[in-house]
Amino acid sequence: MPEVSAHTGEFGGLVAAVTGGASGIGLAAARALAARGAEVAVLDLKPDDVPAPLTGLRCDVTDATSVRGAFTALRERYGHLDVLVNNAGIGAQGTVADNDEDEWHHVLDVNVVGIARVTAAALPLLRASRHAAVVNTCSIAATAGLPQRALYSASKGAVLALTRAMAADHLREGIRVNCVNPGTVDTPWVGRLLDAAPDPEAERAALSARQPTGRLVTAEEVAGAIAYLASPASGATTGTALAVDGGMDALRLRPA
């Protein structure tokens, strides 16, 4: 196992796995880890979308067989794993009455059970690492009380609770577990929502104007926070949530 300075924040010789890393925040996080020296495997439904030098591995986080297969491939390729970024996630809109039971089960399966499934598969490898870190992509929705986001908010509230519980469970094994709470981030996901509006550019301008900083958060800004929490530089930090929301939570604002 290579030596890593506790103060450089660099990932030379370390291996990272990023779920949902073919797009948006996950892709930016995978790139940020690779730029800092990690070898990065992206576990995604769309491995062919993953650009070099990242390695795309097909993985559906809702399917235990698919998850096990991805980690078998990862172990054969790299032999070890140090960083896991549980980022795969999907959205849902509406009040508690608007999503049917199948939607509830599916969103919770991707956003919450997916993290449990993937982390359980990764644990044997993480236990063998001297720099093991897990970073979950949560959301300000975990605590904000967002309108028209009942199911999504419930899923991210569970991600926050799971992050803290996992941090407690694996502390003595030397595995740190943290999460990032992004605000509204300029990713293909948000692009798709804007494109559905009658005037996407006007909608984008209005959405930006509602942010405390007057602009959306960038995927690279979230990726920087993920890289910090994944790095030995944050070695004393576990069970915490780092907001990357332009100050929205601190100002008690809501994206609406």
Q: Which is nearer to ligand NAD, 21 or 232 (CB)?
A: 21
Q: Which is nearer to ligand NAD, 19 or 119 (CB)?
A: 19
Q: How far apart are CA 69 and CA 110, in angstroms?
A: 17
* Minimum gap (Å) between residue 130 Cβ and ligand NAD: 28
- What are the φ/ψ torsions at residue 212 (nearest 5 degrees)? -60, -30
Q: Do the Cβ atoms of 126 and 134 come closer than 8 Å?
A: yes
* Minimum gap (Å) between residue 127 Cβ and ligand NAD: 23
Q: Do the Cβ atoms of 249 and 243 come closer than 8 Å?
A: yes
Question: Which helix H or strand E contains 241, and what residues bound it?
Answer: strand 241-244
Q: Which is nearer to ligand NAD, 137 or 234 (CB)?
A: 137
And the tokens for 137? 């992509």
Q: For residue 82, which of 124, 42, 133, 117 has the smallest C-alpha distance?
A: 133
Q: Which is nearer to ligand NAD, 182 or 246 (CB)?
A: 182
Catalytic-role residue among 11, 71, 78, 152: 152
Q: How far apart are CA 70 and CA 83, in angstroms?
A: 15
User: By the criterion CB under 6 A, which residues form the site for ligand NAD?
Assistant: 19-20, 22-26, 44-46, 59-62, 87-90, 110, 137, 139, 182, 184-185, 187-190
* Minimum gap (Å) between residue 153 Cβ and ligand NAD: 11
With a CB cutoff of 8 Å and minimum separation 6, the contacts of 46 are 22, 23, 56
* Minimum gap (Å) between residue 58 Cβ and ligand NAD: 9
Residue 152 annotated among the catalytic residues of the structure = yes
**Residue positions annotated with a catalytic role:** 152
